[in-house]
Amino acid sequence: MTETVDFRGVRLYPAFLDRAAQEAMVAALRRIAEAAPMFHPETRFGKPMSVKMTSAGRYGWVSDRRGYRYEPRHPTGVDWPPIPPEALAVWQAVSGVERAPECCLVNYYAETARMGLHQDIDEADFTMPVVSISLGDDALFRVGGQERSDSTASAWLHSGDVCVLAGAARKAFHGIDRLKPGTSTLLPQGGRLNVTLRVVT
């Protein structure tokens, strides 16, 4: 088993995926985006998010003026494609739970995209972990506690790293401050893909 690092209660698996596995994951994500195209969601305040996203699985995560929620279909009405076996294999290796993920959210960060500090709390069962996979350029990951006012710490996530938010860290505030453009050759267009696997119900 790969060595893990505890970062503010988040379990990090540095370089969990080797280059070949990262390439296979990217190919699987491209197939998802062909079936369910990436879109720029709006926050509930009507501001466009800087990441583009799509999903696979029984539910996809969407955000618009009606709020943040899981939906059984893409905004265009098409079904979300199935979660690819490459992503399921990562979940099985690191999640420590029997249930299968119901949502595979795919976020694309262009050079200047970021994600503000937030909690993942749209799911029903917080005993189920969040598993997140980084692909492409390095990203500065910030983690705090369960209150927005708690102190935070940052670490760079690299292509192939996997993070697990479970236990006390399941509802930790987290976000991506910025990318370090040009740090990876994985994505020909540059930027970063993040895959987040969750049980929703």
Could you say which DSSP state residue 167 is in? Answer: G
Asked if 123 is part of the footprint of Mn ion (rule: CB under 5 A), the reply reads no
On whether the CB atoms of residues 9 and 31 are closer than 8 A, the answer is no
Amino acid at 72: P
* Residue number closest to ligand SIN, CB atom: 194
Based on the shown chain and the rule CB under 6 A, indicate whether residue 83 belongs to the binding site for ligand SIN: no
The contact pattern for ligand SIN, residues 125-164, with x = CB under 6 A and - = no contact, is -------x-x------x-----------------------
Asked if 55 interacts with ligand SIN (CB under 6 A), we say no
Taking the complex as a whole, the smallest distance from the CB of residue 22 to ligand SIN amounts, in Å, to: 15
Measured between its terminal Cα atoms, the distance across the chain in Å is 29
Torsion, Cα 100 42 11 102, to 10 degrees, reads 0
- Helix ranges, the chain (H): 19-35, 85-94
Q: Say which residue the tokens 């800087």 belong to.
A: 50
Near ligand SIN in 101-130, by CB under 6 A: 107, 115
Indicate the residue among 47 and 77 with the shorter CB distance to ligand SIN.
Answer: 47
Judged by CB, which is closer to ligand SIN: 98, or 184? 184
Between 115 and 200, name the residue whose CB sits nearer to ligand SIN: 115
Residue partners of 48: CB distance under 8 A and separation at least 6: 40, 41, 42
Residue 47 contacts by C-beta under 8 Å, 6 or more apart in sequence? none
Interaction partner, residue 176 (ligand SIN, Mn ion, none; CB < 5-8 Å by kind): ligand SIN
Task: Choose among ligand SIN, Mn ion, none what residue 115 binds, the Cβ cut-off being 5 to 8 Å by kind.
Answer: ligand SIN
The residue to which tokens 């976000």 are assigned: 175
Q: Give contact residues for ligand SIN (rule: CB under 6 A).
A: 107, 115, 132, 134, 141, 174, 176, 194, 196
